[in-house]
Every structure is written in C-alpha cells, then in structure tokens.
Amino acid sequence: MAQTTDIEVRPAQGAAERDAALALRRQVFVREQGIPPRLETDSRDDDALHLVAIRDQEVIGTCRVVIDRRTAKLGRLAVKLDARGAGAGAALVQAAEVQARAAGAGRIALHAQAHATGLYAALGFVPLGAPFREAGIEHLRMEKQLG
C-alpha cells in the first residue's frame, strides 16, 4: 500500500488496529474538536474499509471508505496531533483512492472540514455547492472523478 518516508498506509489489520483507529478518531473529533460522541461513530463503521497510517508500529492516522454503488465515500480522516504535517493525511487520501478504484468506484466524494479543503484540492478534489455546517463545523462537499 502507500508509503510516505517512514509512514505505512494500509487497511487496518485485526481488531487492535481498528480499535486504535477508532480511538484516534475519538481523540481528534470528540476531544479536540468537541463533536458529540454520538455523531462520531455510526452504523457505516461496521461495513467500512478502515485505512491506517502507521509509524513506528503506532497508528498515527486513519480514514474510512464506504462504497455506495459506484461512489466511494471517504470520511473520518484523522491524524494524531504530533504527526500532522508529515504527509499521513495525503497518503491516506491516496490510499483511499486506490481502494476505491479497486472496488469499481467511478468517483470519490467527501465532506471536507473548511480548514482541510486545501489538502483535498491539491489531490485533485473539486468543491461542489456552498459551504454547510455539519456537527457544528463548516464543511464543503468535494469530489474527484476516478475516470
């Protein structure tokens, strides 16, 4: 799977990595951003592909991919505070794209937090529509055609 210097990105392997990914999401979304815990997880977690970014045998980033017909929905991208800026976020998005293509998706869609739209734009995502609030945070719907 994708590799950025000393960061390996791949599907979570086993319950321990999946649990570490969910714990990281709680840290970032619930503790740092104040999102209510009931909004952070949902029933899609059970059928989602959970990707992890690993550095020094520690989960430092995660995102999930849900395939819905020919659309891959990328969400819950989170990177550990002290690991931000090292390329884990971009590597996770790129790995999600590889997985989406492999699953037969023709496009990948996401709701980007306003502060993260530059990351997604740099990776070829285009904004669709007006900004909106989700879980109390401004977001923008973005999409990338997978060709």
pLDDT at position 121: 97
Compute the distance between CA of residue 34 and CA of residue 68 in angstroms, rounded to an integer.
28
The total domain count for the chain is: 1
Compute the distance between CA of residue 49 and CA of residue 96 in angstroms, rounded to an integer.
9
84-141: pLDDT as tens digits: 999 999 999 999 999 999 999 999 999 999 999 999 999 999 999 999 999 999 999 9
The CATH code of the domain that includes 34 is 3.40.630.30
Residue 74's SS3 state is strand
Contact 118, 35 (CB under 8 A): no
The pLDDT of residue 1 is above 60: no
Q: Mean of the pLDDT values across residues 25-44?
A: 93
Total-model pTM:
0.93
Structural domain of residue 139, as residue ranges? Answer: 3-145
pLDDT at position 76: 96
The stretches of the chain forming alpha helices (DSSP H) are: 14-25, 37-40, 88-102, 117-122
Mean pLDDT over all residues of the chain? Answer: 94
